[in-house]
Amino acid sequence: MLEIRSLSLVQDGDTCLDDVSIRFEPGQLTTLLGRTLAGKTSLMRAIAGLVQPDAGSIALDGTDWLGLPPWRRPVAMVTQQFINYPHLSVLDNVAFPLLRRGVARDEARDRARDMLGRVGLADFTDRRPGRLSGGQQQRVAIARALVKKAPVLLLDEPFVNLDYKLREGLREELIDILTAETGTMVVYASTDPREALQMGDRVVLLSEGRVVQAGPPRTVYGAPVSVAAAQVVSDPPINLLELDVAEEGAEVTGLGAVTPADLGRALPPGRYTLGLRAHDLRLGGPHAAHVALTEVSGSETVTHLVLAGQNLVMLERTVTEHALGATIGIGLDLTRARVFDATGTLVPNGADHG
């Protein structure tokens, strides 16, 4: 078990990590989900020993890691850039970490060849990495990370610099390989909520260097504990609406008066934020909205709307063409909205829904 406690890191005056505590269990795949600069890379670099945190502790099975330089920590890492050793052949690249750990040359090469076969590069062992495509280079890097069988495997957005198709394919291959490796703690960083929710046994949401929520993907997605968590975990972006509840009645900015029945619950007076996911908006309804932009991707349509001066996003599970500037009627299913209080904290409502 890798235990991180109260880790803090400030670099060049910017807070990269702020009191981060996480536990990683063997055999578990944890995704770190957060926007760019949320602290994912900083956390991984701290685990690998590439940066020294200002406070906190990192320990593997009770052994302190902070005193260990990177070359003494049993970690493997794949980064966004395809980094391989330019002067070595693909085979020697993958055998390199084994040789450095004292494995005999022949055995190292056999194991490297085996690993290259598993990432589909059996025919490229004699090439230099510079002569491979981006996807192939990243496979070499993945093979080099996996061949060590390090107990901690860090994957920092490994596919972000590849094109979409390649990314999907490689991700599935990686999952196949990883499920065969038992006992490894895998940490996978991503900016893409869908990817994170599909992949991990557990999701950790990071925002501005802090852990905002951690748990199984379904829980995190269904009940984001705060506005920040809801924003990180929603794709397309979650719609945020202002709700004002007073003794005489409630009003949502831009929509007008609402009743407790509309909301599916009664709330004490106060100011709230409603988080409504894009798929909880539907075409056909009482509210007139202007179409600002329509994107069709696959069998889904994402439409950006302006309703009474507020920007909203609607997701339809069909292909629909909306003319730009057209006025369409939409409905909002507020019973499905997450309700956050004035501090941005979730106000629970019994069971959560997907």
Partner 1 sequence: MYRQKYLFLLPGLLVLVAIILFPLLFTIRVSFSSWDVYNPGLNWIGGDNFTRLLADSRYWQALVRLSLLTLATVTLQYVLGFGLALLVWRDIAARRLFRVLFLVPMMTTPVVMSVIWRTIFHESLGPLNPILDALGIGAQPWLSQAGHALAAVMIVEIWQWTPFMFLMLLAGLLSLPQEPYLAARIDGAGPIRTFLSVTFPMMAAISTGAILIRLIEASKLMETIYVLTSGGPGTSTETTSYYIYIRGMRDFQIGYSAALSLTYLVVMIVSLTVIAKALTRMVVKD
Partner 2 sequence: MKHTSYLALKYLVVLAWSAFVVFPFLWMLSTSFKSANGVTGGATWLPWLQYEPSTAGWSALFGGPGGVNILRPYLNSVIVTLSASALSLVLGTLAAYGLSRFTFRAGPVRNGDITFFFISQRIMPPIVLAIPFFLMLKTLGLLDTLTGLILVYIALLLPIAVWVMVDFFNSVPRGLDEMAWMDGCTPVVTFLRVILPNAMPGLVVAGMFCLIFGWNDFFFAFTLTFTKVQLLPVSIVALNSSVTPWWALSAAAIVSVAPLAVLAFVVERFLSRGGLAGAVR
Q: How far is the CB of 94 from partner 1 (least distance, A)?
A: 26
Q: How far is the CB of 69 from partner 1 (least distance, A)?
A: 5
Give residues 60-89 in contact with partner 2 (rule: CB under 8 A): 69-71, 73, 75-77, 79, 81, 83-87
Q: How far is the CB of 65 from partner 1 (least distance, A)?
A: 12
Measured from the CB atom, the residue of 52 and 299 that comes closer to partner 1 is: 52
Measured from the CB atom, the residue of 52 and 182 that comes closer to partner 1 is: 52
Q: How far is the CB of 237 from partner 1 (least distance, A)?
A: 34
The residues with which 249 forms a beta bridge, in sequence order, are 246
User: Quick one: which of 158, 108, 112 has its CA closest to 137?
Assistant: 158
Chosen from partner 2, partner 1, none, partner binding at 40 (C-beta under 5 to 8 Å by type): none
DSSP 119: T
Contacts of 289 (CB under 8 A, 6+ apart): 305, 306, 307, 312, 327, 328, 329, 330
Give residues 108-147 in contact with partner 2 (rule: CB under 8 A): 144
Number of shown-chain residues binding partner 2 (CB under 8 A) = 23
Q: How far is the CB of 75 from partner 1 (least distance, A)?
A: 15
Measured from the CB atom, the residue of 97 and 224 that comes closer to partner 2 is: 97
Measured from the CB atom, the residue of 55 and 66 that comes closer to partner 1 is: 66
Q: How far is the CB of 307 from partner 2 (least distance, A)?
A: 46
Asked whether 303 and 314 are in contact (CB, 8 A), the reply is: yes
Rounded distance between C-alpha atoms, residue 205 and residue 308, angstroms: 32
Does the footprint of partner 2 cover residue 31 (CB under 8 A)?
Answer: no
Contacts of 170 (CB under 8 A, 6+ apart): 135, 138, 139, 158, 159, 162
Q: C-alpha distances in angstroms, 214 versus 41, 122, 205, 221?
A: 17, 39, 6, 10
- Could you report how far apart the first and last alpha carbons of the chain are, in Å? 31
Asked whether 160 and 191 are in contact (CB, 8 A), the reply is: yes
Which of 34, 49, 200, 209 touches partner 2 by CB under 8 A?
49
Longest dimension (CA), the chain: 81
Chain positions contacting partner 1, by CB under 8 A:
52, 67, 69
Sites of contact with partner 2 (CB under 8 A): 48-50, 69-71, 73, 75-77, 79, 81, 83-87, 96-97, 100-101, 144, 148
